[in-house]
Structure 1
Amino acid sequence: MKKVFYYMSFLFAFTQMQAQKDFQGMAVYESKTQAPKFEGMRGNRDITPEMQKSMEERMKKMLEKTFILNFDKSASIYKEEEKLESPGQQGGFRVMVSSMMGGGGTFYKDVKTKSYTVDKEFMGKEFLVVDSLPKLNWKLEQETKQIGGYNCYKATAVKEPSKTDFRNFRPKKTDDKKDEAKKTSGETKTNFSDNFELPKEVVVTAWYTPEIPVNQGPENYWGLPGLILEINDGSTTILCSKVVLNAKDKVDIKPSKKGKVVTQKDYDETVVKKMEEFRDMNGGRARSAAPVMMGR
């Protein structure tokens, strides 16, 4: 009887270990970012109200994306869902803009080694960003809600915004008196970059479910006792719309290997430098920069 008991115990332990090893899940996320209002362009005679409205609508559409997160117990890959491009969307430049808005490439996270790898394309060059996962000091709250049938708990954290993620920029508050003074003095040109500012810090609100006990989430978010099903940083909301656990077809969860290997700091410095060169080349004017940012 003892031999049978030990055999059954070993078999149960082996089955549990194998189940954990083979465990895999998939989550679909819908990402929406509040489109900026180009109020600072009101003084520019080259930008009509119709053009301004069109640019805001195109920006809103570009900021609505669908992502797929495939994960196991220790690693995950997060990638934008592939869609057919409409004619005239200028794929190359759209890839660059997408990269600056949280998309572009495959984001691989390994929570055991606390590292990540993401391939990015910028200005026609391919980069492979390899770095340590950001450590957020999550504050676990008591507030709960349901997302897709899962019981979720609230957690909050404060982080430093990235200079290379366009979603982090906020429209500056306009001064109607100054705008009127510019019109009166004949100053009709508006510096596009002057319309936005980068906040010193961003408050992140996450909703995670212990019912899926993996230390994962969308983008570079992680570090909570359960899968993160919703993230909000004030302007961007990423919400899980579907979860599939242990599907028959498995996915290879591994990092990309294409591109020049750089750290996140090196990549950010490269992007900022190139964007400053681009701004200087175009005079920083709204009439030059705005159509380009809209993908025109």
Structure 2
Amino acid sequence: MKKIIYSILIALLICGSSYAQQFIDKAVIEYEVKTNVKKTIGNGTWAEMLKENMPQFKTAYFNFTFADNKSIYKFSRWDESAKVPEFLRRGDEENIWYFDFVNDKFSMQKDVVGSKFYVSDSIPQIEWKISNESRQIAGFNCRKAVGKIMDSVYVFAFYTDEITISGGPCSISGLPGMILGLTIPRMYTSFIATKVMVNGVNVSAIKPVESKKPYTNAGLKKTINERIKEWTSEDDDEDSKMWRNQFIWGILL
């Protein structure tokens, strides 16, 4: 009799735990995005002059809205305590990333010094290595993964498989779950999910970025590199080269 009772209790516990774990397939995720702007502009004479009139960090909030395995990621608001100069704000406020994971489609709008560039292509592929390190973010258990983008830039992500979409901030994706924490050391930028809102999701806002003549990812990279050559010299010092790389990575991210 005791064996029967124990068997029933174990079965109930197993059923209860399976129902307790919920998998989210529609929500709005808010990210706090923090960049050390003084680090990104280097240490040259011109850079030091700029630093005098800018904050150490710029902190913005972005929303990742998703449903039906499609998503859109865009600017929401600035941290009220931060006084961010206009030339540091525009790109963040205008940039948009759209993903259709069902059809492997990606589109993006990027503001570059006041000019808009559009991309339409397949979803960028990132080679990931998953580790056993874990942490909690916004109430979700997350696992660490390390990836490499743009040939040489390492990204460190924490993702959860309790949110089913394979997405993340900007153009970073491809893990078996949603990225809730992301750090890009060479860009002095971190992304951390502050909350996940499952109610009142505006599904109609999830739509592709439209353009008559969009670039491919490779086409945008080629165009930006060509324009950078017009603005800079091959004889630039190491500090200028670092700033140039930061600028390019920010556009392609």
State the TM-score, normalized to the length of structure 1: 0.60
Quote the offset at 1:209 in angstroms: 1.2
What is the correspondence of 1:1-296 to structure 2 with a 5 Å cutoff? 23-35=25-37, 36=39, 40-41=43-44, 44=45, 51=49, 53-55=51-53, 57-58=54-55, 60-61=56-57, 63-82=58-77, 90=86, 95=90, 98=91, 104-122=94-112, 124-160=114-150, 201-234=152-185, 235-247=188-200, 249-258=202-211, 260-279=213-232
Q: Equivalent residue of 1:220, what SS? A: coil
Question: In the alignment, what sits opposite 1:192?
Answer: none
Quote the offset at 1:230 in angstroms: 0.5
> Would the alpha carbon gap of residues 221 and 40 (structure 1) be closer, same or farther in structure 2, given more than 3 Å must change?
closer
**Greater gyration radius:** 1
Quote the offset at 1:90 in angstroms: 4.9
Mapped contact 1:216–1:222 kept (Cα < 8 A) = yes
One-letter identity of the residue aligned with 1:24: K
Quote the offset at 1:69 in angstroms: 0.3
Quote the offset at 1:256 in angstroms: 1.7
Q: Equivalent residue of 1:277, what SS? A: helix
One-letter identity of the residue aligned with 2:182: I
Quote the offset at 1:48 in angstroms: 10
State the TM-score, normalized to the length of structure 2: 0.69
> Would the alpha carbon gap of residues 39 and 275 (structure 1) be closer, same or farther in structure 2, given more than 3 Å must change?
closer
Mapped contact 2:157–2:181 kept (Cα < 8 A) = yes
Q: CA RMSD in A?
A: 3.7
Structure 1 consecutive aligned stretches of length 4 or more whose deviation exceeds 6 Å: 84-88, 283-286
Mapped contact 1:119–1:258 kept (Cα < 8 A) = no
Quote the offset at 1:68 in angstroms: 0.7
The whole-number CA distance in structure 1 between the counterparts of 2:64 and 2:40 is 31
| Structure possessing the higher relative contact order (Cα contacts under 8 Å, 6 or more residues apart) | 1
The whole-number CA distance in structure 2 between the counterparts of 1:151 and 1:117 is 30
Mapped contact 2:26–2:201 kept (Cα < 8 A) = no
> Would the alpha carbon gap of residues 39 and 284 (structure 1) be closer, same or farther in structure 2, given more than 3 Å must change?
closer
Quote the offset at 1:23 in angstroms: 5.0
* Number of residues of Structure 1 aligned to a counterpart in Structure 2: 214
Q: Identity of paired residues, percent?
A: 28
Quote the offset at 1:267 in angstroms: 1.8
One-letter identity of the residue aligned with 1:232: T
Q: Equivalent residue of 2:231, what SS? A: helix
One-letter identity of the residue aligned with 2:164: P
Deviation by residue 1:85-141 (Cα, 9 ceiling, x = unmatched): 9999557x853xx26xxx632200111222210122335543320112222222222
The whole-number CA distance in structure 2 between the counterparts of 1:157 and 1:88 is 30
Quote the offset at 1:249 in angstroms: 4.8
The whole-number CA distance in structure 1 between the counterparts of 2:144 and 2:47 is 43
Mapped contact 2:27–2:201 kept (Cα < 8 A) = no
Quote the offset at 1:143 in angstroms: 1.7
> Would the alpha carbon gap of residues 34 and 251 (structure 1) be closer, same or farther in structure 2, given more than 3 Å must change?
same
> Would the alpha carbon gap of residues 107 and 54 (structure 1) be closer, same or farther in structure 2, given more than 3 Å must change?
same
Deviation by residue 1:25-64 (Cα, 9 ceiling, x = unmatched): 10011112233176643xx5xx696x35415x34x44x42
> Would the alpha carbon gap of residues 40 and 82 (structure 1) be closer, same or farther in structure 2, given more than 3 Å must change?
closer
Q: Equivalent residue of 1:260, what SS? A: coil
> Would the alpha carbon gap of residues 206 and 84 (structure 1) be closer, same or farther in structure 2, given more than 3 Å must change?
closer
